[in-house]
Structure 1
Amino acid sequence: MDAVLSVDQGTTNTKALLVDAAGVVVARGSAPVGVTFPRPGWVEQDAAEIWRSVRSAVRDCLDAAGGLAPVAVAVSNQRESVVAWERATGKPIGPVLSWQDARAADRCDRLARTGLGDVVRRHTGLPLDPMFSAPKMAWLLESAGLSGPRATERSGVVVGTVDAWLVWNLTGGAVFACEAGNASRTLLFDLAALDWREDLLDAFGVPRTVLPEIRASDAGFGVTADLGFLPAGRPVAAVLADSHAALYQQGCRLPGTGKATYGTGSSVMAPVARPDDPRAGIATTLAWLTDAPTYAREGNIIASGAALAWMAQSLGLSGAADLEQVAKAADDTGGVHFVPAFSGLGAPYWDRSATGLLTGLTGGTDRAHLALAALEGVAHQVADVVEAIETGTEAAVEVLHADGAATGSGRLMQIQADLLGRPLRVADAPDASALGVATLARQALGLTGDGVPEATGGALVEPLMAAGVRASRRAGWAAAVARSRGAVVPPGPATAGD
């Protein structure tokens, strides 16, 4: 059996899936990954713990497989997070700065005042925001006293995205490379040239010499070392950023298609024919690079699963999965809106000064209203991004494909279809990222047919909400977001409730 081991390294969890030639998961393992918040706006992880979680998840997966060994390895990973380590020893020199981390916001503001924001958006397709990797890379290097290319070269320190860290460890330090789609999330990658851009490297103070080689998504990333928990000599056949891998698995490759991945945050992506001028609040990114580049418009939501987890904890529940049960007691939110701007808002606002808030509270607000408001808060954010992606385009996203852990909530999926006013296709399994990169790896090795899988299967959720009710709830949400961003919103029909 030609099975591929797919490692999906996410923000709070690492999964390992053994996927057979038919795309069926025959074994799996998982391990949690911790996240710390040492200061307001700072979000960190431990690079050594991330690697331990990979070892644990893979070991459990292969144990469950009963001796079935993979012919190859594929990797999907959390994006934008940054690791710096000593090339000679593989020892991290500081924390992993999470994609959620906003400590470089002041740096981005200073650079924006020089006009760099326009340059960044024009060449990378991204807004100048601390979510992306370059300002985090600069912070890590400077905090280690490694400002300037000469100091950095002498130190032997390298810096990269999480995929580069995993490839480095899987190959025993033999390969220092990152995948092109991950590179496109750094603010340093030229979408047209498909390479690091020198003027941006200079602007952020990140020398090319400390960065990994950029490789195509299916170009091969060396072979596994003798690691003890995984057979040696297996090709690391493909790497994709997690949201990109989900898009690949969902078969979304033409304008008019799109998907939303519900994780700690959410990524809403829709393919475009070319990397044209990005729309307000929406990024253009490289989805994957095979024999030709595939580009996509994308909006990144900072807190979706994180918002559900926060509300569950605040209500004394054991986890986000319990929110749906509590929300069953409410037909609507009673006028409550929850804006989870824990570290500001991402797309389509990109406002790091926005603050999280609950609006519309009354003496009659109960737990069910709050639980339902959390579910709606996630769905409203996705609807905001879909609407922004579609602005100025010829092809609307007729059916939005959904994947990720939160798709297990039937109530959330119905709310999402209702607030979008269009059908939602929910993936058969929440593991679209792991399955997508496994599919690409099989194709790279010639173990399956050519092309991207078609977006078939999965439950179709039709919208049930009346247009007038949808408009009222969307207007109420817009007013709540405006308040979150510091606007004074006068009372009126748009804020009176649902």
Structure 2
Amino acid sequence: MTGSVLAIDQGTSGTKALVICPERGVIGSGTAPVRPRHLPGGRVEVDPVELYESVVDAGRRALAEAGEPVAALGLANQGETVLAWDPATGEPLTDALVWQDRRAESVCTELAPHAEELRHLTGLPLDPYFAAPKMAWIRRHLTRGGVVTTSDAWLVHRLTGAYVTDAATAGRTQLLDLERVEWSPSALELYGLSDERLPDVVDADARIGTTTVFEADIPLTGLLVDQQAALLAQRVTEPGTAKCTYGTGAFLLAQTGTAPRRGDSGLVSCVAWRLAGRTSYCLDGQVYTAASAVRWLTDLGVISGAADLDPVGGAVPDSGGVTFVPALAGLAAPWWRGDLRGSLTGLGLDTAPGHLVRALCEGIAAQVVALADAAAADLGAPLASLRVDGGLTRSALLMQTQADLLQLPVEVSALPDATALGVGAVARLGIDPELSVDDALPDRKPSAVYEPRIGPDEAAERLAVFRSAVATLLDREPV
């Protein structure tokens, strides 16, 4: 039996660290905030030093609470957040462009004739959400110095001196050959990045190096992008199963097994993880704004925070005819129209805060239904249920709305920190190669199961109203 591990989830709005004991579960936790800046023109950036310091602070707090040493470290990351930095000193040369940042739209416009080539090669559509357009934009507009990578490579270098990224994170760049799971010379050439020194692509459970920033020497043996770490923690390891994480955005992933599955429903085909040299793949769909849309309502003063969703939304029986398409950072899968803005229609003098809350919950849930339908189409069979995790799963209103519109059971994870638990399991695999994946994972008993309370006809009617609002947005000329 391996010892305890320190699992760190470096996220968009904060970093969470857990000390996980194989026998006793979570014995220590720590958090540290991260404050991305939302700027005009769809820019979202963050100070890289703040990312690193949040990792150190959260990790130290978790270790202090646990009060005992750990055998290994696992690190999960945001995936598509990028920066340029000096590999000699480790100092950042630019701010980090967060995954929500849209400034690389011009790069994608130039590459539009090669969109299908890139999609077939990498599994990803041409969109500034992914890392490569941001990397190219940094090279054109900010600096030619140092290296330009996803944030995990910089964090790992600061922690251990190694220069690596895991296969799943590399798969979020649009520079990885999906079949070969190695950097693609063709994609690099298209983006003008052929001369870049890119990090080595390693297994998620690789022994990467040792860090001393937490006082004792700790080997880094787990590295995995956040949504795939949550996918693993939810035990979505067999084809046909799916999970959705409701965080800053909402992310639905469906397992496809040992071969990538390229469909035409608008989902991304990508690496789920590579463990002990064996690659698993998944379908991936994104909703750009979930908790960030709740935060937007909060900033407007409609509610005081996510905890208000249920009491405020529960004060009214329905949305009162209000329809909210919360595309506040554009529409992601399956539409891929990041240029669009959100819409709020059906307002009247009788519209109350509860109607806006319910309309938001319906808007988030309806987008997830679109992702689930696309996954079912690409898999060739409907999903049997949806496993969910993330902060917004605390809202019974949102979860019931999701079950109603999806017309499937929604199983809420009893694991509030699935991403950290997933990368913690990977770290255990890295220090004990004899351990099976199944034995490394936490138990997956749901804390709640939401069954549909409405029939399929009413669900179809409500979805049709939302889809009509989306169609109105799609008919607009690109900005």
Structure 1 and Structure 2 fold alike (TM over 0.5)? yes
- Give CA-to-partner distance per residue, 1:317-349, whole Å, 9 cap, x none: 331221221111111101111112122110110
Structure 1 counterpart SS, 2:40 = coil
- 1:255 Cα deviation (Å)? 1.9
After superposition, the Cα gap between the structure-2 partners of 1:75 and 1:145, relative to the gap in structure 1 and judged at 3 Å, is closer
Q: Which is further off, 436-445 or 121-130?
A: 436-445
Asked if 1 retains the 8 angstrom alpha-carbon contact of 2:246 and 2:388, the reply is yes
Q: Establish whether residue 463 from structure 1 lines up as the match of residue 452 from structure 2.
A: yes
What is the Cα deviation at residue 435 of structure 1?
0.2
Q: Which letter does structure 2 place at the counterpart of 1:10?
A: G
Write out aligned runs for 1:193-272 (5 A): 193-207=180-194, 209-224=196-211, 226-227=212-213, 229-232=214-217, 234-272=218-256
Check whether the contact 2:5–2:427 (CA below 8 A) recurs between aligned residues: yes
* Uncovered stretches (5+) of structure 2, i.e. residues with no partner: none
Instruction: Please report how far the alpha carbon of residue 316 of structure 1 lies from its aligned counterpart in structure 2 after TM superposition.
Output: 4.2
Is 1:410 aligned to 2:396, yes or no?
Answer: yes
Alignment match, 1:450: 436
Q: Does structure 1 residue 441 correspond to structure 2 residue 427?
A: yes
3-state SS of the aligned residue for 1:286? strand
Give the partner amino acid of 2:117: V
**How far apart are the structure 2 equivalents of 1:259 and 1:110?**
34
1:373 matched to which residue of 2?
359
User: Aligned residue for 1:482?
Assistant: 471
Q: Which whole-Å CA distance do the structure 2 matches of 1:277 and 1:371 have between them?
A: 36
Name 1:82's counterpart in structure 2. 82
Contact between 1:380 and 1:474, CA under 8 Å: does it hold in 2?
yes
Q: Residue type of the partner of 2:101?
A: D
| 362 and 12 in structure 1: CA distance in 2 versus 1, 3 angstrom threshold | same
Could you tell me which amino acid in structure 1 is paired with residue 358 of structure 2?
L
Q: 5 Å matches for 1:23-172?
A: 24-66=25-67, 68-112=68-112, 115-146=113-144, 155=145, 157-171=146-160
Contact 1:252 1:455 (8 Å CA) reproduced: no
Q: Aligned partner of 1:269: which letter?
A: L
Structure 1 pair 331–284 and aligned structure 2 pair: CA distance change class (3 A): same
Q: Distance in 2 between matches of 1:21 and 1:141?
A: 44
Q: Which residue of 2 aligns with 1:286?
A: 271
Kindly indicate whether the alpha-carbon contact (under 8 Å) linking 1:308 and 1:375 is maintained by their aligned counterparts in 2.
Answer: no
Alpha carbons 1:312, 1:323 under 8 Å: kept:
no
Deviation track 1:230-282 (CA, whole Å, cap 9, x = no partner) reads: 422x2101111110001101111222210001110111000113213232311
CA distance in 2, matches of 1:317, 1:363: 18
Contact kept in structure 1, 2:261 and 2:378, CA below 8 Å: no
- Structure 2 counterpart of 1:431: 417
| Residue 32 (structure 1) shift | 0.5
Say yes or no: does 1:300 pair with 2:286. Answer: yes
Distance 1:347-1:315 versus aligned 2 partners, 3 A rule: same
CA drift at 1:456: 3.2
Distance 1:337 1:222, change over 3 A: same
Q: Which amino acid aligns with 1:284?
A: S
TM-score w.r.t. length of structure 1? 0.91
List 4+ stretches of structure 1 deviating above 6 A: none
Match of 1:269, SS state, is strand
Structure 1 residues 14, 230: CA separation in 2 closer, same or farther (over 3 Å shift)?
Answer: farther
The answer to whether the Cα contact below 8 Å between 2:318 and 2:358 also exists between their aligned partners in 1 is yes
| Equivalent-residue separation in structure 2 for 1:222 and 1:321 (angstroms) | 41
Counterpart contact for 1:223–1:236, Cα < 8 Å = yes
Q: Superposition pairs for residues 317-396 of structure 1, below 5 Å?
A: 317-396=303-382
- C-alpha spacing 1:487/1:83, structure 2 compared with 1 (3 Å): closer
Asked whether 1:315 is paired with 2:295, we answer no
Give the aligned residue type for 2:191. Answer: F
**Residue 487 (structure 1) shift:** 5.4
CA distance in 2, matches of 1:216, 1:181: 9
Looking at structure 1, the residues matched to 321 and 303 of structure 2 have their Cα atoms a distance apart, in angstroms, of 22
CA contact (8 A) 1:336 1:370 kept: yes
Deviation, structure 1 residue 133: 0.3
Between 1:192-201 and 1:352-361, the stretch displaced more is 352-361
Q: Is the 8 A contact 1:30 1:60 kept in 2?
A: yes
Aligned counterpart in structure 1 of residue 461 of structure 2, from 458, 469, 472:
472
TM-score, length-scaled by structure 2:
0.95
Inter-partner Cα distance in structure 2 for 1:36 and 1:482: 31
- C-alpha offsets along residues 184-203 of structure 1, whole Å, 9 cap, x if unaligned? 00010001111110011111
* Other structure's SS at 1:223 match: strand
Letter in 2 for 1:465: I
Aligned length: 471
CA contact (8 A) 1:21 1:447 kept: no
String of CA shifts for 1:17-58, please: whole Å, max 9, x gaps: 000013711010001101112322111011001011111111
